[in-house]
Structures are given as C-alpha cells and as structure tokens.
Structure 1
Amino acid sequence: MLVTLNDLLPQEAQSSGAVACCNVFGIEEAKAIISAAEHLHRPVILAVNKDMVDLAGVEAMAGLLLPLAKASSTKVCVHLDHCYEEAIVFRAIHAGFTSVMFDGSQLPLNENIRRTKNVVDVAHAVGVSVEGELGSVPYQEGRDHIKSEFTEPTEATRYVNESGIDALAVSVGNVHRMTEAGSPINFDLLETIEAATTLPLVIHGTTGIAESDLLKLKTQRVAKFNVGTTLRMAFGNAMREAMEHEPAKFDKQYFASKAIPALRQEAIRVLSLLS
C-alpha cells in the first residue's frame, strides 16, 4: 500500500516506536526490505539518495519502486532523500514519489525557510509530504563539504512554523555513514527541540548510534530513523563472501540472490529494533 509520511509519522511520534527509512539502490534491496516489513507487519519507507538520483534519475527509480509499494500488503512510502535542488524535487513529485526531503541545511536560515516553503507549497498541493532539516548532520566520509552543526531550538521553532514542513530532521550528535556505533547523542538538546516544536522528528545516521540510545530515542518524538550503512554492509559483505567462495561464477544476479537473505535478515533486525 503506497502512503505518505503523513500517513505514518504522526502516529509513530506518539508511540514508543518509529518507522525505518531504508536507502535502496535497486530491486534487490527494495524487495528484501519490503519482505522484511511484511514479515513484521510494519510500515517502511524506501528512500532514494543522491547517488541513485545521479545514476538513474528520479523517474527510473519511481518506475521501479512505486509498483512494489502499491502491491505490498504493508504501508510503504517512497521517499526522495536529501535533495538540494528544487528542480529534482519537483521531478520526483511529478514521477509519483509520495514524500520528498528538500535539504536546505547548508543555507542561511532565511533562505532555508524560503526555499523549503516553496517546495512545501507545491508538494502539499498534490498530497506529497515534505521533510526538512535544520542544523546539519555531518558525514563520516564522502561529503566533506557538509557542515557539522547542531539544531538550534529557537531557530527550529521559526523554521517549522514558517516553512510548513511535515517532519523535521535534527542534528543532535548523529553522523551519516558510520560503520560502527559511536555517535554520542545530546538528549538534553533533543528534549529542548521537542519542547520548541510539535512535529515528528527524524534521525539520520542510525547505523552510528548505540542500540541503547536507539531504544531511548524511539520512545521520544523521533518517528523516523534513516538507515543505510548497516544494510549496505550486510548486502555487500554477503555478496563478497559468495564471490570469493565461487570465483568461477560471474553473473551479477546469481551473486545478488545469494546476498538477499542476509540483507533481509538485517532489515528484520533493524525494523524489529525500532518497532
């Protein structure tokens, strides 16, 4: 069943659980993650990141993911992750994405508000939900130009009220693309942000957060956790092991089929943890 963030996050924000937003890079990941969500009777968000936008384009990814979401027995949102260009956001909306993230976190506050609001006005007119970011969640590797900046609660109040977004991604010590847990979460700051806003909150960089902190975060107003690195590691490591075991084989789909069970199992672990 194809849904938006607004069909999922308000309820999750009031519960002791949250929805996993999983980066997908092809049909193997998409089917494994949806299968895991169906197994657990949990909703899930399939996210298309900048790497896949650059490689395939939003139209091709919509063509791949939308039929899978519509055919699923569970609720599936098809989401455009971190996007810095309005033109791509609007293409994604036109292609059928049910949720988009316009990331103005690298912009001055006034410009972030103005440009995010322009996206919100277009998206809401056709029933698409919008995630925004205030502060800036850094990357451990891969995007050195991205700032590291905590979310400022009083700015968060203004950003939420003036932009009209549906979900707020916050920077409270979380870090993208960490391969091991080690991000110290500033829970005092998070609680101040919660007091300053009313929206469902989003945590990026889930792989880098200790399980004990995840269990605490999901009971607060955090309704969406973005998950990527741990799923890629499960899939990539399983494929590498299969290739090393059968060096005479060379077919991509053969090795992908060998790795899908490991990816599905890791997705089940993550979704269960956040439930």
Structure 2
Amino acid sequence: MLTTTSALVTAAHDAHTGVAAFNVIAIEHAEAVAVAAEATGLPAILQISENAARHHGDVAPLAAAAAAIARASSAALSLHLDHVEDAALLFRTAECGASSVMFDASRRSDEDNVRATREAADWAHEHGLYIEAELGEIGGKKGSAHTPGVRTDPQQAREFVEATGVDALAVAVGSTHAMTDRTAQVDLDLVARISAAVPVPLVLHGSSGVPADLLAAAVRAGMTKINFGTMLNVAFTGAVRAALAASPDAHDPRPYLAQARTAVAEVAADCLRTVSGGNQ
C-alpha cells in the first residue's frame, strides 16, 4: 500500500529503530523493493533522485510506476524525491505522488542554504509534505559540497533545524556516496551526540558503503532513515552481466532483467532486516 514517508519515519523514530530507503532508477528497482518488503514484513521508502528524473527526461513516468507498485503491494511503501536542487522539481513533489522530498541546498553558502531550505520547508508544509534537508556534506559527490572527511557539528545541526523547520536531517558522520565496498567507518559517538542535540529524525546517506553491523549500530545510536543506492545497482548490473555472459546471443531483455530484479530484492531484504534490528 502507498503510505507516507512521515508515517514510516515517525514510527521508526518513536520505536528507536530504522527504516530503509532505496533509490529507484528503473521499474525493476521498485518491484524488487516491494518484493523484499513483502518477504520481510517491513516497510520501505522508494526514492527517486533528481539525477534519476533527469535520466528519464521527466520524473512523472518513473514516479507513476513506483506509486502504482506501492499501491498494489501488501507492504507499507512510501514515495520520496531525493537530492532535489531544482525548485521546479521540488514544486512537483505532490503532483508526482510523493509524500516527501529531500531538498538539497548544501552546495550553497551556509546562509543561502538556511534561507533556501526555510523557503522550501515552508512550501512543503503548506502542501502537507514531509521535508528532509542536509547540513554537513556527505562525501562522494562532485563539487565543493559532499567532501569526504566532513563531519556535522551537533550544535550547528540543532541550529539549522531550528532555523529551517525541516522534518528530518541528513548528516555527515563518515559515510560516502557511491562506494562499492563496505569499508566506511561511521562515527557512532558523533551519531549519538547529534541525535541528542537534534529533535528530528536523522538520515544516513551513502549507506551502501557501511558494513551491516555498523549500520545496525548506527541505528541504535540514533540514525533513523537509512538510504541505499549503489549496492542495489551493483547487484543489478552484476546479475545482468552474469546472465549475458551465460547467454551471449540473448536479445530479449526480460530474462536478464528478471534476474537483476531478483538480485536486487535479495540485497534489499538484507538491508531491511539490518536497519530494523534483524528480527524479521
């Protein structure tokens, strides 16, 4: 069933557990997450990044497919727009069926980040939407923002939330986007200190590079929304490569896309169990 990100994140935050959010690039990604959520009995967030929307030429087709998959599922799934920098896309959040958005002004100066995020949060709340933002760059993205080694200061995080009114905060605690090995080291003490200082749920980006046991520990320390992307794509592409290597004359994409979907579902199920405490 299609539910709201607010409901899923709030429930996880209140229960001191985590909820997994998965980047959707192709329909098979969304289908795989739904399969994993149904198999584990756990909720999940389907999220479409601005980059994914740009890849498809428009956010609407992929968002419509993801929302339809969520509505047809027996699992609780929400739809979220991720790393939105373009105000035009921000303003289409509700139109495309999403109940939440991550507005990313972290490439701007601190003052401009606060101003733009405050305006985005005011607009989102006027339209009944849940909004996530970022202070403290997450590593692995091009440009001056997202520089590896950056860490979020707990007091600055608190002041940012107070100044902007956002509902959830993505913080820099050691993870890095686009990692294909799980060697990132999350600063659990910093997570605990930020969690104690900030009244809203915390979000971990770049979770694919964090070992499973450390992810579980990060949730126990205070992280709530845990984002996954790269590891799904590694599983997806690996399955396609293996299928085409086994059948080099294949021309119908359905068999190898089905194998990719199964591989992604297996990875997503593991992620869901990890962030929920592994009890399912």
Contact 2:107–2:143 under 8 Å retained in 1: no
* Distance change in 2, residues 1:145/1:254 (3 Å): farther
- AA in 2 matched with 1:64: A
Q: Name the SS for the 1:218 alignment partner.
A: helix
Following superposition, the deviation at residue 95 of structure 1 comes to 2.1
Does the CA contact (< 8 Å) of 1:13 and 1:200 recur in 2? yes
Matched with 2:172 is 171
**Within 1, Cα distance between the matches of 2:145 and 2:199?**
27
SS at match of 2:116: helix
Distance apart, 1:159 and its partner CA: 1.0
TM-score by length of 1: 0.94
In structure 1, distance between residues paired with 2:170 and 2:128: 20
Letter in 2 for 1:143: K
TM-score (norm 2): 0.92
Question: Corresponding residue for 1:132?
Answer: 133
Runs of 5+ in structure 1 lacking a partner? Answer: none
Structure 1 equivalent of residue 146 of structure 2: 147
Partner of 1:34: 34
Distance 1:172 1:216 in 2: 13
Given the alignment of the two structures, is residue 226 of structure 1 paired with residue 227 of structure 2, yes or no? yes
In structure 2, C-alpha distance between the alignment counterparts of 1:218 and 1:37, rounded to whole Å = 19
Question: Following TM superposition, where does structure 1 have runs of at least 4 consecutive aligned residues deviating by more than 3 angstroms?
Answer: 144-147
Distance of aligned partners of 1:147 and 1:214 in 2 relative to their CA distance in 1, 3 Å threshold = closer
For 1:109 and 1:152, how far apart are their aligned partners in 2? 13
Identity of aligned residues (%): 34
Give distance in 2, aligned partners of 1:31 and 1:210.
25
CA contact (8 A) 1:243 1:255 kept: yes
User: Residues 12 and 19 of structure 2 are in contact (CA less than 8 Å); yes or no, is this contact kept in structure 1?
Assistant: yes
Q: SS where residue 176 of structure 1 aligns?
A: coil
Q: Does 1:60 align with 2:91?
A: no
1:43 matched to 2:43? The reply is yes
Q: Distance in 1 between matches of 2:267 and 2:96?
A: 30
Supply the distance in 1 between the matched residues of 2:275 and 2:154 (Cα, whole angstroms). 25
In the other structure, the counterpart of 1:238 is 239
Whole-angstrom distance in 2 between the partners of 1:170 and 1:12: 17
**Alpha-carbon distance change, 192 to 16 in structure 1, aligned in 2, over 3 angstroms:** closer
CA distance in 1 between partners of 2:145 and 2:114 (Å):
18
What letter matches 1:89 in structure 2? L
Residue 31 of structure 1 and its aligned partner are, at CA, apart by: 0.7
Please tell me whether the aligned partners of residues 25 and 48 of structure 2 are also in contact (alpha carbons under 8 angstroms). Answer: yes
Q: Work out the CA distance in 2 between the residues paired with 1:65 and 1:103.
A: 22
Q: Counterpart of 2:214?
A: 213
Give deviations 1:89-120, integer Å, cap 9, x for gaps: 11233222111010112222221121112111
User: How many positions carry a matched residue from both structures?
Assistant: 273
- Quote the RMSD (CA, aligned, Å): 1.5
Q: Distance in 2 between matches of 1:118 and 1:160?
A: 13
Q: Secondary structure at the match of 2:220?
A: coil
Q: Say if 1:48 and 1:81, in contact at 8 Å, map to a contact too.
A: yes
Aligned partner of 1:81: which letter? D
**AA at the equivalent of 2:142:** R
Aligned to 1:260: 261
SS of the aligned residue for 2:92 comes to helix
1:119 is matched by which residue type in structure 2?
A
**For each residue in 1:144-188, what CA deviation from the matched residue of structure 2 results, as whole angstroms up to 9, or x when unmatched?**
553322212221111111211111100011111111111122222
Q: In the TM superposition, what is the alpha-carbon distance from 1:51 to its structure 2 partner? A: 2.5
Secondary structure, in 3 states, of the residue corresponding to 1:101?
Answer: strand
How many Å apart are 1:251 and its aligned residue? 1.8
- Which residue identity is paired with 1:191? A
Q: What residue identity is the alignment partner of 1:55? A: H
1:259 to partner: Cα distance: 2.2
